Amino acid sequence: MDDEKEIISQKANNGIGIVEFFEGKNILVTGGTGFLAKALIEKMLRTTPKINKIYILIRAKDKGAAFNRLKSEIIESKLFKCLEEMLGEYYKPFILNKLIPIVGNIYEPNLGMDIITS
């Protein structure tokens, strides 16, 4: 019983270990240019900076168009200003290293990704 109380107390003090869980992990986010996904991405980058990569499925005709959407709709979004202020001059290199646009569409087979990507 005392062991259970100790474990519960530790979890209450240390959270549920989300930061540690995502350290070094890669994740895929669909709908990445939508508001909820952007909020999730910003929160993950701000609170779990040791996450490895966040792959973002973006509906676009090619990689260039996907990157342009990533830049204009996510990286330059007002939602990311706090992170930009925190990181200063390191913001762009940090975010470009972490966020990887993937051309796709959730309505298509294999998420609309080409055979190499999928």
Per-position b or e across 23-53, b if 16+ CB within 10 A of its CB: eeeeeebbebbeeebbebbbebbeebeebee
Domain ranges of the chain: 20-106
Cβ-Cβ contacts under 8 Å for 33 (sequence gap 6 or more): 56, 58, 69, 73, 74
Looking at residue 31, its pLDDT comes to 87
Residue 65 φ/ψ, nearest 5 degrees:
-65, -35
pLDDT one digit per residue (tens) for the chain, 118 residues: 556 555 555 554 556 788 888 999 999 999 888 999 999 999 999 999 899 999 999 998 899 999 999 999 999 999 999 999 999 999 999 999 999 999 986 666 766 676 665 4
Q: What is the CATH number of domain 20-106?
A: 3.40.50.720
The total of other beta-carbon atoms located within 10 Å of residue 111's CB is 16
Closest to 94 measured CA to CA, from 75, 73, 70, 66: 75
